[in-house]
Amino acid sequence: MSFWDRLYNIKVSPEIRGITNKNFYKFLNEIVSVILFQLMKLEKKDNIEINVELSRDLEVPEWREFVITIKLLSMDYMDDKEFFSLWKKIDGSVRDRISSIKDVDKEVLEKYGKLIIILEKDE
């Protein structure tokens, strides 16, 4: 993968690790870098857990959705408004980056470009 999967608590599912398209990993590096940059900028990079996986669609099981879950662990209190604002900043930054990526092949963007980002907090 990259340097970040050793420095941060990032778990990548076996299914994602099994993807052989090298352009996918360039794409994934871009996305995770944007997420980590936003978390650092907002001083939320410590005590996080990031999971990267392909998840089955409940309604159409043969569909797989690319999901990145960011869990904020044992952090200072954050009300719902702050939490939603953080998610919007991360999601917006990721979507902006995806729309500006030029060097990733169309297959990767079509298959994985509509990822779902989930932000959770440890209650």
For the chain, which domains are there?
4-121 (3.30.429)
* Short-list 66, 112, 67, 70, CA closest to 87: 70
Quote the pLDDT of residue 123.
Answer: 64
pLDDT by residue (tens digit) across 5-60? 555 688 899 999 999 888 888 899 889 999 988 888 777 666 788 999 988 877 87
Among 19, 29, 18, smallest CA distance to 94 is for: 29
Q: What is the pTM of this model?
A: 0.82
pLDDT at 3: 47
Give me the pLDDT at residue 44, please: 66
For the ranges 2-6, 16-20, 84-88, 106-110, the lowest mean pLDDT is seen at 2-6
How far is the C-alpha of 82 from the C-alpha of 109, rounded, in Å?
Answer: 30
As a whole number, the mean pLDDT across the chain is 83
